[in-house]
Each structure stands twice: as structure tokens, then as C-alpha cells.
Amino acid sequence: MKKKTAVNKSKAAKKTPVPETKALPTIVSFVLDETGSMQSCRKETISGFNEYINTLKTGAKDGNQSVRFSLTKFNSAKIEMPYVNASVQDVAELTPETYVPANTTPLYDAVGNTITKVSAELKESGKEAKLLFVIMTDGQENASTEYNQRKIFDLIKEKEKENWTFIFLGANQDSWLAGHAIGVSRGNTMNYDTYEMRETMSSLGDSSVAFLRSPKKVMKEFFEETKYDDPKKKK
């Protein structure tokens, strides 16, 4: 007669599934330089920005996530926001008609006004969300009338305490110095070549999608942290 083998009930019992940590909805705010110096890379900027937007759209759709988008285009003749807290799926691509570089660089005014507007929209919604704030410029501040460097520095530090993540992309300058001057951490700063716009925006897009899928609310080493949070980049 065969001896019955005792069944280990603890092993046989079904494992209780561990619920996934769902990422918060994400608001992406993009401040885009539309000054005269961007004319030399106008085509590349349009192409790169469109690639970024399409990467966000695909990432949001694939991950079934809510992503809202705000866009500020600026030069000394205007600071305009064609999109404020819009669904990223509703954001149209840039064209030569909608992106026309001209004039000088009121960077501080563009950043200050955008932070104020997005902050008001977020407060009005009453909903919790992660905030990714991207600043892209190829020139230094030279035309602001409302904000100065100190005010922007203080404003960014204030919003970092509210878990906003700021990114500074700079060309034709010491980007780390320029970013640091307004309060953006070195780990959230990237120096780019205007003729490598596609690569720059591709990297930003991949990192942004990793950010919106991450349970982390804020990142101080954005490009390094998203490298490991993105499953495609894990070795």
C-alpha cells in the first residue's frame, strides 16, 4: 500500500494578487521658445515637438492614463497658450504656420505666467495630479518686464515643495548654469544641439512616458530615474 504524501496547504493555497500601484494623472506643461534665434532650427523644432506629443499620446493610450497638456509659445511680441490643461489627445501638431520664430526672449515672463496659469487650473480642478513642467529654449533671458531671475527661482522652489517636477532643456548656452539660476536641479537639466533635436525630443518623450507611468510624484534626477523606471530601458 502506497503511503499518502501530505499536501502542504500553504503552498497549495492560491496566492492573493498584489494590486498594482496606479500612477496619478499627469499634467505636462511645455514652455517653448519661439524667438528669432529658433529660426535656424525651425524645421527641426517642429518635427521634434511633434514627435514628443505623439510619444505622449501613445504612452497615455497604451497605459490607459489621463494626461493633460498645456503649451506656452513665447517671444517679446507675445506669450500665448494655445492649450491649457487640454487632453493630450486633442493637441495638434505644430506646423510652419503655427510656429513662427521672431523677436527676443522674455523667458522669465513666459515661465512665470505659465506657472501661475497652470497652478490656478490645477487648484480649480480640485484633483490630485503629477506635474511635469518642461522649459525649452536656445537663448538667454533678455526681454522680461514682469518677472526677474529671483522671482522665478522662488516660484520654482515653491512649486517643487508641491511636488512639481521641472525640466530645463537648453541650447547655445551653459544649460546647467542657466537652469540652476532659476532653481532647476542639474539632474533635471539637459544640454542639446539644435541639429540633434530629434534625438533630444525622443529622449525627453521616453523619459516623460516613464514618469507618467511611475508611482513617484516628483523626480530630482529625472533622466536617470526614468531610465530605470522605463521597462524598455532596464537591462
- The full 3-state SS of 51-100, as one line of letters, equals HHHHHHHHHHHHCCCCEEEEEEEEECCEEEEEEEEEEHHHCCCCCCCCCC
195 located within any domain: yes
Domain that holds residue 31: 23-233
Distance CA 201, CA 224 (A): 16
Pairing, β 130-137 against β 189-191: unpaired
Task: Tell me which residue has cell 498645456.
Answer: 70
For the cut 50, the answer to whether the pLDDT of residue 146 exceeds it is yes
pLDDT band (50, 70, 90) for residue 23: confident
In the three-class reduction of DSSP (H, G, I as helix; E, B as strand; rest coil), residue 30 is classed as: strand
18 located within any domain: no
Cβ atoms 130, 210 nearer than 8 A: no
171 located within any domain: yes
Q: Which cell is 188 given?
A: 533635471
- In Å, how far are 8, 12, 16, 81, 223 from 70, measured between CA atoms? 57, 52, 41, 7, 21
Span 186-190, average pLDDT: 94
Span 14-26, average pLDDT: 58
208 located within any domain: yes
1 located within any domain: no
Domain count, the chain: 1
Q: Which cell is 32 given?
A: 517653448
What CATH number has the domain bearing residue 195? Answer: 3.40.50.410
Q: What is the mean pLDDT of the chain?
A: 88
What does the pLDDT read at residue 18? Answer: 36
165 located within any domain: yes
For the cut 90, the answer to whether the pLDDT of residue 118 exceeds it is yes
15 located within any domain: no
14 located within any domain: no
pLDDT band (50, 70, 90) for residue 51: very high
Against a cut of 0.95, is the pTM above it? no
Quick one: which of 52, 66, 85 has its CA closest to 22?
66
